Chains A and B, each alone.
Chain A
Amino acid sequence: MATPVPRFREKAQVLDDAALDRALTRIAHEILEKNGGASDVAFVGLRTRGVTLAQRLAAKIAQIDGAALPVGTLDITLYRDDLGLRGAPLIRGTDIPFSIKNKTVILVDDVLFTGRTVRAALDAIIDLGRPKAIQLAILIDRGHRELPIRPDYVGKNLPTSRRESVAVRLREHDGEDRVVIEEPEEA
Chain B
Amino acid sequence: MGWTRKHLLTMQELDASEIVLLIDTAASLQEIATREIKKVPALRGKTIVNLFYEPSTRTRTSFEIAGKWLSADVINFASSGSSTTKGESFIDTAKNIAAMSPDVVIVRHSSAGAAALLARTLPCSIVNAGDGAHEHPTQALLDLLTIREKKAHFDGLHVAIVGDIAHSRVARSDIHGMRKLGMTVTVAGPPTLIPAFVQELGVKVSYRLEDAIRDVDVIMMLRLQHERMTNGLVPSLREYSRYWGLTLEKLAVHARPDVLIMHPGPVNRGIELSPEVADGPYSVILDQVAKGVAVRMGVLLLLAGSRGEAS
A positions within 8 Å CB-CB of B: 1-2, 75, 77-79, 83-95, 123-124, 127-129
Contact = CB atoms under 8 A, between A and B. Distances in A.
A100 to B, nearest CB: 11
Contacts of B40: 78-79, 124, 127
What range describes how many residues of B lie at the interface? 20 to 34
Given A84-B306, A84-B307, A87-B308, 20 more contacts: A75-B28, A78-B70, A78-B301, A79-B40, A79-B41, A87-B2, A87-B3, A87-B4, A87-B309, A88-B4, A88-B309, A89-B306, A90-B2, A90-B25, A91-B25, A91-B298, A93-B28, A93-B29, A127-B40, A128-B35
B37 interface: yes
B13 interface: no
Contact of A89 (B27, B35, B37, B42): B42
Interface of A is mostly: loop
Contact of B305 (A2, A75, A89, A129): A89
Nearest to A129: B36
A93 B42 contact: no
Interface of B: 2-4, 24-25, 27-29, 31, 35-37, 39-42, 70, 298, 301-302, 304-310
B306 A88 contact: yes
A86 B310 CA distance: 10
A187 to B, nearest CB: 27
Nearest to B69: A78
A94 B304 CA distance: 21
Top 10 closest A-B pairs, CB basis?
A93-B28, A88-B3, A88-B306, A87-B309, A78-B42, A78-B40, A91-B28, A85-B308, A88-B2, A89-B305
